[in-house]
Structure 1
């Protein structure tokens, strides 16, 4: 018997309904957008390519522009905005996002679909959603925005959708023009960078392999192992180049961390906080699969992903150990030529890629991260042999997590000297000798790195 297509359609989620569901989980459970989207896009609930594209845009676009969207809602809702339930807020946010930031969706469709999502998920609020969205639509050109001349911090925070505390910090550090530039870039879609696996191919051959499958790419500006895809590549993971382990998706600045460490074939390397192994596996490629890498992470599921990726990329010298990086086994003390600590951090250098972070991190969190980073760096130092190198990196752009941590470490560890990295392009080394990148200056994620040598 033929399946009931009406019932089949009912079972399938709409992109707007799925977007609200994802945004609710981000707000209520502290989840991250990318893995949630991957679950939806890898399934069969949303099959149409246009719907899949709309889902991605609604999730990331709403997260990026949330500050501006909330300003609009607060001016059209007669009650206290903070009392609105999270699902209602996210229905309104996605609806208003479509009204202001998409040009291919008719306004009536955006309003009607938002009301339909409300009727299904929170029916008591459907009338409110309808009233607010129609009111916004009528008064779209009459919205009063904060004035730059009166309060630059407030104006930038609202118009460019960043938390006020972060805008104020950047204004003090960089001034108005660069703060606006940083915020604007954080609201753009980041380029898709991949690292070429030097164990299997060269950049030129990888570019040619992708071109043969209809994906154009160009060499990266800073990473000698990187290429930037210049055409949409939704099916990248289905290409032969990916399946055969020729490439791995990795931001260009992230690729430079292994170059900062500069491991040599035959050395013994320790990667603390290895995660899913993007940098670990790059270290192995630079070592030409000769030597030994010990990869430690607290999360066993991430180490399983690392092991699977090692298989795909042909890496054979990595040994994984689940555990807390603040503890140093006796066998590790003074035993490694290179130690990498890519420390847990606020992630404020990755706001293009992870826009939810900006609404989650508070000023007090920076000090919490700083204390963790200081403990980890002290522990990492114990494993470096005399003459060995220690690399400290973050994807943060705050002094509390970067140069302040380095200064504290050096004050308590006279056996270590900070040295200028040799494997990093000179334009990415600042006046103090730190490796540093910014999205608005370099087109990469924001990264920081310091390199030390143990003298005795």
Structure 2
């Protein structure tokens, strides 16, 4: 592979923004890809994939390059040289790239690969918590979370069937395959920018991981019900609920962030989902108004996001152990407060994109011992690990109000 100066400079600029200016990888990459209109799809793929690769393996590469944060531009070039060397890429004779000790890099890689925290490129505290909570499964899970996440689409059944969408995408040179056990999903056989396709603009699909698609189904919604999605965000699961309800009934999509609900409105319009009512949570009064009034309540709780590291590798470096303590407290409070919206005989799903029992089944078990929780029966739960499913790590529990 021949390296092109403008593409590599874009990678270095992106890494600088992510590592030194606290930029989010997805936003930084999005911005980088608009940098030069002359870039073709291969150029953009190189920039995006190289940035994500180096972010994913930051600890390992920095250790091999013998550099420490905050990284100077010279440090970032050294890290880039490690990445290129390990991929067998011949480095060009540029002044930014000093003499690269190829044999030393490969030797250090072999040596560090024997130690899990370096081999899987993860902070010490995260490795310890993972092992403590998941035991022997942690090793396999960590390996799976370092794989590049597949691109999965969710068919918008309000507008199109799965077979028709597959044909429509084929016409646009986008090949997909069915996934057994996921009725509304198609997986891309080759990574492509699907957001520029006519099928996307027409609202025929959303990009949504296969594990995430299981949550709305787990809630067992029926057309005509009143459903509350309490942490709706930009509405991936809200839109799925709307499709499952065939646009009948009412979905109240709530979130503390009004800007996310604006994005949901835009997406709902494209999807032709008309039974969604966005509501910003401004105080506890907004919750109290709905006490005992919902047939179904979805709590897609804020969490550590450890189940989605394959698509958000920078989260490894942004998460801090104290955040875990505070988010567990938040989860507990949300479950206690929002569960009161479920009417007698109604159902509740508590879900996270974490793989840690302390954020998942332990939260549900604790809730069921509280005064509010004693009004609920546990029906079932589902624990999804990436190394077993090939998709995001997720948890969901179904409870029914007595």
Fold shared by both chains (TM-score > 0.5) = yes
Matched, 1:40 2:32: yes
- Trace 1:271-290 onto structure 2 (pairs within 5 A): 271-290=229-248
CA RMSD of aligned residues (A): 2.3
1:360 Cα deviation after fit: 1.9
- Trace 1:244-323 onto structure 2 (pairs within 5 A): 244-323=202-281
- Over 3 Å counting, the alpha-carbon distance change for 1:20 and 1:323 in structure 2 is farther
Post-superposition Cα deviations, 1:208-231, rounded to whole Å, max 9, x if no partner, equal: 111122111111233211111112
1:147 Cα deviation after fit: 7.5
The match for 2:363 is 405
Post-superposition Cα deviations, 1:235-254, rounded to whole Å, max 9, x if no partner, equal: x1222221211111000001
Q: Is the 8 A contact 1:388 1:454 kept in 2?
A: yes
Matched, 1:142 2:142: no
The separation in 2 between residues aligned to 1:217 and 1:385, in whole angstroms, is 41
The match for 2:46 is 54
Matched, 1:453 2:400: yes
Matched, 1:24 2:26: no
The separation in 2 between residues aligned to 1:299 and 1:30, in whole angstroms, is 21
Q: Structure 1: state its 5+ residue gaps.
A: 1-11, 117-128, 149-154, 421-433
1:92 Cα deviation after fit: 2.5
The match for 1:440 is 387
Matched, 1:188 2:147: yes
The separation in 2 between residues aligned to 1:135 and 1:229, in whole angstroms, is 37
The match for 1:65 is 57
- Over 3 Å counting, the alpha-carbon distance change for 1:313 and 1:409 in structure 2 is same
Post-superposition Cα deviations, 1:364-395, rounded to whole Å, max 9, x if no partner, equal: 32111100111111111121111111111000
Matched, 1:94 2:80: yes
Q: Structure 2: state its 5+ residue gaps.
A: none
The answer to which structure, 1 or 2, has the higher relative contact order (CA under 8 A, 6+ apart) is: 2
Q: Is the 8 A contact 1:13 1:46 kept in 2?
A: no
Post-superposition Cα deviations, 1:37-88, rounded to whole Å, max 9, x if no partner, equal: 12222453562333212111221100111121021022xx6xxx35x54544
Post-superposition Cα deviations, 1:136-193, rounded to whole Å, max 9, x if no partner, equal: 3252343262484xxxxxx0111221223333344445555x4443232222211110
- Trace 1:71-150 onto structure 2 (pairs within 5 A): 71-74=63-66, 81-82=68-69, 85-100=71-86, 102-103=87-88, 105-108=89-92, 112=94, 115-116=95-96, 130=98, 134-143=99-108, 145-146=111-112, 148=114
Q: 1:197 aligns with which of 153, 156, 170?
A: 156
The separation in 1 between residues aligned to 2:5 and 2:353, in whole angstroms, is 35
1:359 Cα deviation after fit: 1.6
The separation in 1 between residues aligned to 2:283 and 2:366, in whole angstroms, is 19
The separation in 2 between residues aligned to 1:243 and 1:287, in whole angstroms, is 22
The separation in 1 between residues aligned to 2:319 and 2:38, in whole angstroms, is 31
Post-superposition Cα deviations, 1:291-345, rounded to whole Å, max 9, x if no partner, equal: 1111111222211111111111110011111225866444211111111110111
Aligned length: 396
User: Aligned to 1:108, what secondary structure does the other structure show?
Assistant: coil
1:274 Cα deviation after fit: 0.7
The separation in 2 between residues aligned to 1:291 and 1:145, in whole angstroms, is 60
- Larger radius of gyration between Structure 1 and Structure 2: 1
- Trace 1:297-376 onto structure 2 (pairs within 5 A): 297-324=255-282, 328-376=286-334
User: Aligned to 1:444, what secondary structure does the other structure show?
Assistant: coil
Q: Is the 8 A contact 2:82 2:105 kept in 1?
A: no
Deviates more, 1:316-325 or 1:351-360: 316-325
The match for 1:218 is 177
Matched, 1:163 2:143: no
User: Aligned to 1:218, what secondary structure does the other structure show?
Assistant: strand
Matched, 1:233 2:192: yes
The separation in 2 between residues aligned to 1:223 and 1:93, in whole angstroms, is 40
Post-superposition Cα deviations, 1:80-137, rounded to whole Å, max 9, x if no partner, equal: x35x54544433322321221x34x42235xx2xx54xxxxxxxxxxxx62xxx2432
User: Aligned to 1:332, what secondary structure does the other structure show?
Assistant: coil
- Over 3 Å counting, the alpha-carbon distance change for 1:61 and 1:147 in structure 2 is closer
The separation in 2 between residues aligned to 1:407 and 1:72, in whole angstroms, is 44
